[in-house]
Amino acid sequence: MNEITTVASDEAVAIARILANDHVADIVEALNREPRETATELLCEVTFERLVEIFD
């Protein structure tokens, strides 16, 4: 069976890097620019420890 691999857009890659490495204020700023659904999906992929930092 053939599987289709989805390639992330440049913006998605940039946001993933921000979520993983940047200062919490930068993360909040990036998430605020996204639609609510997108921000929710991104936050679902973040580790619990990082979520605590973001929401603290």
DSSP structure string for the chain: ---PPPPPPHHHHHHHHHHHHS-HHHHHHHHHTS-HHHHHHHHHTS-HHHHHHHH-
**pLDDT over threshold 50, residue 5:** no
Domain-by-domain residue ranges, the chain?
10-55
Nearest-angstrom CA–CA distance, 50 and 29: 15
Encoded tokens for 15: 């946001």
Q: So what's the pLDDT on residue 39?
A: 87
C-beta separation of 42 from 19 below 8 A = yes
Please indicate whether residue 30 or residue 13 has the higher confidence score (pLDDT).
30
